């Protein structure tokens, strides 16, 4: 297997239209997708990810229904992109090989197969299908703070052996401190760097996504994710426009037109934001306690329903070690906290 050729020092993937789907409660319109892809493509972004926040097939009761069929969005994105490659996320257990084939037919040329950081062994079948289809392959090792650098590297090895061209350190909770991120980047580059690139996907829960992106580059990572206006789960991703400005300042070549990116964020994405992702209490608690970023809106809804502060729900989820795929447990946590509160109230009165 060979690494894909890359043309710049860093290959930026923008995930506004996939990770940002969480922050938009999966309500993207076709027009928003077209406008965003066009702006990203013109600004020199080489990979644009488009799908439900939880990947192809994610539109469901458990993860939230999409407003627009994602195959329609992928096809629209493909039409708008002159040079950018369209990518989709696929979480085994949520999306199927069939979803992947449909995404490929709609125009997706890259798949990012995402598993929990210790469960790479559920990914090989999907990498196999993707390689048969001739797609470029990325592997997401999610919640990468939850295992050691050594073990993460072993999981990356499983993915690469299965046909993954670029395994990613995926900091789903925005919880990786800089030295923790560096150790994971170095471990993956040492393990698979001869035959694969290594990637980094960060969140801004404690505002270290951009800093970790710089450290990623220093450590040999060449695929880095961002999203416009930081639009993504939790407090959002490393903003693509900030990555552009910082790499420009550092003289690291990305092929990005920073002014065009700043305009894309401000003039295309900002007008349709439900809310600007920010480091509020809920988001910081996710980074502090290491909670899956896409739990945010679920916890807010459960908190409203059961009259429990969402940040307490999120902190409990961190203590209990819940990971992506356990969204249904958030309701149980809220019910438990409400019961604790009621018992405490009864004891006082």
- From the list 22, 26, 145, 298, the catalytic residue is 22
Contact region with a copy of itself (CB under 8 A), list: 39-47, 219-227, 263-271, 296-304: 263-271
Among 63, 288, 295, 322, interactor with a copy of itself by CB under 8 A: 288
Check residue 211 for interaction with a copy of itself (CB under 8 A): yes
Is residue 138 within 8 A of residue 110, CB to CB? The reply is yes
Q: Is 116 annotated in the active site?
A: no
Query: In 43-164, which residue ranges form alpha helices assigned H by DSSP?
Result: 70-80, 97-106, 124-132, 149-161
Least distance between a copy of itself and beta carbon 262 (Å) = 5
Among 278, 305, 307, 343, interactor with a copy of itself by CB under 8 A: 278
Q: Residue 272 and residue 28: Cα distance in Å, rounded?
A: 9
Check residue 265 for interaction with a copy of itself (CB under 8 A): yes
Is residue 231 within 8 A of residue 20, CB to CB? The reply is yes
Contact region with a copy of itself (CB under 8 A), list: 69-77, 157-165, 255-263, 323-331: 255-263
Q: Residue 186 and residue 175: Cα distance in Å, rounded?
A: 18
Contact region with a copy of itself (CB under 8 A), list: 77-85, 126-134, 146-154, 204-212: 204-212
Check residue 98 for interaction with a copy of itself (CB under 8 A): no
Q: Known binding site for substrate: residues?
A: 18-19, 172, 201, 292
Nearer to a copy of itself, 198 or 208 (CB): 208
Least distance between a copy of itself and beta carbon 271 (Å) = 12
- Could you tell me which residues come within 8 angstroms of residue 52 by beta carbon, excluding any fewer than 6 positions away? 18, 21, 26, 58, 59, 63, 66, 70, 89
Among 106, 153, 258, 308, interactor with a copy of itself by CB under 8 A: 258
Is residue 99 within 8 A of residue 66, CB to CB? The reply is no
Check residue 209 for interaction with a copy of itself (CB under 8 A): yes
Q: Residue 291 and residue 311: Cα distance in Å, rounded?
A: 11
Check residue 46 for interaction with a copy of itself (CB under 8 A): no
Total chain residues near a copy of itself (CB under 8 A): 37
Q: Residue 199 and residue 110: Cα distance in Å, rounded?
A: 14
Q: Known binding site: residues?
A: 18-19, 172, 201, 203, 292
231 alpha-carbon distance from chain centroid: 10
Nearer to a copy of itself, 95 or 239 (CB): 239
Burial 215-235 (b: 16+ CB within 10 A, else e): bbbebebbbbbbbbbbbbbbb
The token pair that represents 101 in the structure block: 């084939």
Q: Residue 300 and residue 235: Cα distance in Å, rounded?
A: 13
CA torsion through residues 230, 264, 69, 55, sign: negative
Q: Which residues pair with 17 in a beta bridge?
A: 50
Residues that bind a copy of itself (CB under 8 A): 175, 177-178, 204, 206-211, 214, 230, 238-239, 241-242, 245-246, 248-250, 258, 262-263, 265-266, 270, 276, 278-281, 284-285, 287-288, 311
Residues assigned a catalytic role: 22
């Amino acid at each position: 297997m060979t690494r894909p050729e890359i043309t710049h020092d860093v290959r930026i993937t923008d995930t506004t239209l996939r990770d940002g789907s969480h922050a938009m409660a999966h309500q993207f319109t076709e027009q928003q997708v077209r406008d965003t892809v066009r702006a990203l493509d013109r600004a020199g972004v080489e990979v644009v990810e488009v799908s439900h926040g939880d990947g192809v097939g994610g539109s469901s009761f458990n993860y939230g229904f999409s407003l627009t069929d994602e195959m329609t969005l992928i096809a629209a994105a493909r039409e708008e992109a002159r040079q950018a490659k369209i990518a989709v996320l696929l979480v085994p257990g949520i999306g199927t090989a069939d979803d992947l084939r449909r995404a490929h037919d709609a125009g997706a040329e890259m798949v990012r197969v995402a598993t929990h950081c210790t469960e790479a062994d559920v990914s090989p079948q999907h990498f196999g299908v993707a390689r048969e289809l001739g797609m470029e392959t990325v592997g997401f090792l999610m919640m990468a703070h939850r295992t050691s650098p050594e073990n993460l590297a072993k999981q990356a090895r499983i993915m690469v052996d299965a046909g993954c061209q670029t395994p990613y350190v995926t900091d789903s909770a925005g919880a990786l401190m800089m030295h923790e991120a560096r150790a994971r980047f170095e471990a993956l580059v040492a393990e698979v760097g001869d035959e694969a690139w290594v990637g980094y996907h960060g969140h801004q829960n404690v505002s270290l996504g951009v800093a970790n992106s710089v450290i990623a580059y220093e450590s040999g990572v060449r695929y880095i994710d961002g999203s416009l206006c930081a639009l993504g789960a939790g407090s959002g991703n490393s903003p693509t426009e900030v990555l552009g400005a910082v790499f420009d300042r550092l003289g690291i070549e990305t092929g990005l037109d920073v002014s065009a990116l700043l305009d894309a964020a401000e003039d295309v994405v900002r007008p349709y934001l439900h809310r600007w992702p920010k480091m509020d209490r809920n988001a910081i608690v996710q980074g502090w306690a290491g909670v899956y970023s896409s739990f945010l809106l679920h916890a807010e809804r459960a908190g409203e329903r059961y009259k429990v502060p969402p940040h307490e729900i999120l902190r409990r989820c961190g203590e209990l070690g819940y990971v992506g795929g356990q969204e249904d447990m958030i309701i149980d946590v809220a019910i438990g906290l409400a019961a604790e509160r009621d018992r405490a109230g009864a004891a006082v009165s």
